[in-house]
Amino acid sequence: MRDAPQELLPAYDPNLRGATRGPRAACLLATRRAEDIHGLPRGLLTAIALSESGLHAHALSIRGTPHYPADVDEARRLLRQARGSVMAGCMQVNARVHARGEDWPLDPFTAADWAGGVLARWARENNGSWTEALRRWHGASPGNTRSLVCRVRAKLEVTNPGSDLFQSTRCPEATAQRLRNDAEAHLQTAEAQAGRRGVASAAAGF
């Protein structure tokens, strides 16, 4: 997991980054593309990003305190100055462990590519279990797996309505509805920022 992330293959439109109009749009386009490239279940990586960062490319959690910088330059400054634990970017990558002083977690396309590859590999190593891949992603103990899966499942019901992933896990409906409402709000913001053309381009892999 500590290796430097590789670029998405096949190469994508270099204008895609510049076409985004906000941090949530960038995160959305990146996760949807990475899902396609790495063969993840549709909507899964976007659901995880919603759970991790609210689908925000510049999000930082510094010693457990959330920050949502307005632009990537401010995010980089905060990351450089931070002391202690830092979770960074769209996928909330552990910057101290995996980035080792670099700021690549703040590039949503790089971070989503890396996360998608890691999750796909872990699922393969565990007989196709996305539950186990998700548990390892969060570093959750077996006892905390249910609450983690329920949180992502609620987001997935927004990013891919009708998905049967994680349906064997029983989740409290009151909590799930609150999580769905939150996911819908962030997803609508991201899609509005991206515009229809940007979302369609990401889905098509271009």
Domain ranges of the chain: 16-55+106-201
**What pLDDT digit, counting tens, does each position of 12-33 carry?**
445 555 445 799 999 999 999 9
Q: Are 45 and 158 in contact (CB under 8 A)?
A: no
- Cβ burial, residue 128 (10 Å; 0-12/13-18/19+): exposed
The string of DSSP letters for 81-131 reads H--S-EEETTTTEEIIIIITT--GGGSHHHHHHHHHHHHHHHHHHTTT-HH
**What pLDDT digit, counting tens, does each position of 81-136 carry?**
998 889 999 999 998 888 887 899 999 999 999 999 999 999 999 999 999 999 99
Q: What is the pTM of this model?
A: 0.86
Residue 140's pLDDT band, with cuts at 50, 70 and 90, is low
pLDDT of 11: 43
**Buried b / exposed e across 176-198, counting CB within 10 Å, b at 16+?**
beebbebbeebbebbbebbeeeb
pLDDT of 32: 96
- Alpha-carbon distance of 199 to 176, in angstroms, equals 26
Q: Are 67 and 45 in contact (CB under 8 A)?
A: no
Residue 205's pLDDT band, with cuts at 50, 70 and 90, is very low
- Alpha-carbon distance of 14 to 4, in angstroms, equals 20
